[in-house]
């Protein structure tokens, strides 16, 4: 997995080493003694087994000693857990949203991104939410893992020590597209981060007037469509969107198959209530976007899909 790149990550690693070390020592002691006794008191030595009834000293030792060992491991684990619960004052706050099957990260100035972008050396607090069911945010290099539970905001934080791109993914099985719920945590130099935060394409779009909102292509990524639909002709969890506008397609409507022509109304209905017409051959797993997408976002996506020749 490589070295941790956060301070808390190093704590996690040392807690892991301590616990693994205790386990290895116990393992060696138990197996070593077992092997020794098997050899030392073997039957061919003429040993006669004898029942023993109670030994207060021995019983006290093997009760008290493990209590301390377990408390020691608990103490190490608690230190790490406690440090993770309280983000330092003045941490940069990022709101993270999980949904089937994509991540989106929202910054205080309204910028949204499908990657968790963070400055190096500065504490970043992630306020984690889910739009549908339980997902789990995991960045192995940060040793950071937290469930995203609908209706309950959980926070985690980290201070990255090194710039770079680190894997970020969902680690709670959440349905067909779970394995595609992949993204990156991108750690930048402070200046680069500031530029990104104010000048990224997504940033410009989010800060501009609503009529010039994010383009359909950007929404296609940031709203998670890309997790299930390709634009290059390959089917994924859902059908590809390449060249579909104006084509006829067989759908299942209330359990009955019928043929429809893909027009603007059809795309709109498929975004808002995907279960109403399900393309034959694909599972009915798309989450409805009613109340999720804004009107101008629906229109931008329709225009984008029309443009995919």
CB of 139 to ligand CUA, least distance (A): 14
CB of 102 to ligand CUA, least distance (A): 9
CB of 101 to ligand CUA, least distance (A): 6
Sign of the Cα torsion 229, 233, 283, 176 reads: negative
| Positions in the binding site for ligand CUA (CB under 6 A) | 98, 101, 135, 170, 172-174, 178, 181
Of 216 and 224, CB closest to ligand CUA: 224
- For every residue of the chain, which 3-state class applies, written as one string? CCCCCEHHHHHHHHHHHHHHHHHHHHHHHHHHHHHHHHHHCCHHHCCCCCCCCCCHHHHHHHHHHHHHHHHHHHHHHHHHHHHHHCCCCCCEEEEEEEECCEEEEEECCCCEECCEEEECCCEEEEEEEECCCCEEEEEHHHCEEEEEEECECEEEEEEECCCEEEEEEECCCCCCCHHHCEEEEEEECHHHHHHHHHHCHHHHHHHCCHHHCCCHHHHHHHCCHHHCCCCCCCCCCCCCCCCCCCCEEEEEECCEEEEEECCHHHHHHHHHCCCCCEECCCCCCCCCCCCCCCHHHHHHHHHHHHHCC
CB of 55 to ligand CUA, least distance (A): 52
Of 12 and 183, CB closest to ligand CUA: 183
Closest CA relative to residue 229, chosen from 180, 172, 297, 167? 180
CB of 135 to ligand CUA, least distance (A): 3
Of 99 and 113, CB closest to ligand CUA: 99
Of 98 and 206, CB closest to ligand CUA: 98
CB of 187 to ligand CUA, least distance (A): 23
Of 98 and 219, CB closest to ligand CUA: 98
CB of 180 to ligand CUA, least distance (A): 9
Of 214 and 287, CB closest to ligand CUA: 287
Of 117 and 137, CB closest to ligand CUA: 137
Cα separation, 120 vs 82, in Å, equals 23
């Amino acid at each position: 997995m490589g070295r941790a790149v956060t301070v808390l990550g190093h704590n996690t690693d040392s807690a892991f080493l301590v616990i693994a070390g205790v386990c290895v020592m116990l393992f060696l002691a138990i197996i070593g003694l077992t092997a020794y006794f098997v050899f030392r008191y073997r039957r061919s030595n003429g040993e006669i087994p004898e029942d023993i009834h109670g030994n207060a000293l021995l019983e006290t030792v093997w009760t008290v000693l493990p209590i301390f060992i377990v408390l020691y491991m608990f103490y190490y684990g608690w230190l790490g857990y406690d440090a993770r619960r309280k983000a330092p004052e003045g941490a940069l706050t990022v709101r993270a949203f999980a949904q089937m099957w994509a991540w989106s990260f929202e910054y205080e100035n309204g910028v949204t991104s499908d990657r968790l972008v963070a400055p190096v050396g500065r504490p970043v607090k992630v306020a984690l939410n889910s739009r549908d069911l339980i997902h789990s945010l995991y960045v192995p290099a940060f040793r950071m893992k937290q469930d995203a539970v609908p209706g309950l905001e959980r926070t985690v934080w980290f201070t990255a020590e090194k710039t770079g791109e680190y894997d970020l993914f969902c680690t709670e099985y959440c349905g067909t597209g779970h394995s595609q719920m992949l993204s990156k945590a991108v750690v930048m130099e402070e200046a680069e981060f500031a530029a990104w935060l104010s000048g990224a394409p997504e940033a410009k779009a989010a800060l501009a007037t609503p009529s010039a909102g994010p383009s359909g292509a950007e929404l296609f990524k940031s709203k998670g469509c890309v997790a299930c639909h390709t634009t290059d002709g390959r089917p994924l969890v859902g059908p590809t969107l390449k060249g579909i506008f104006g084509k006829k397609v067989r759908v299942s409507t209330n359990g009955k198959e019928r043929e429809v022509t893909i027009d603007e109304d059809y795309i709109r209905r498929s975004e808002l209530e995907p279960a109403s017409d399900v393309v034959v051959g694909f599972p009915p797993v798309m989450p409805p976007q009613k109340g999720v997408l804004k009107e101008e976002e629906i229109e931008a996506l329709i225009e984008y899909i029309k443009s995919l020749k």
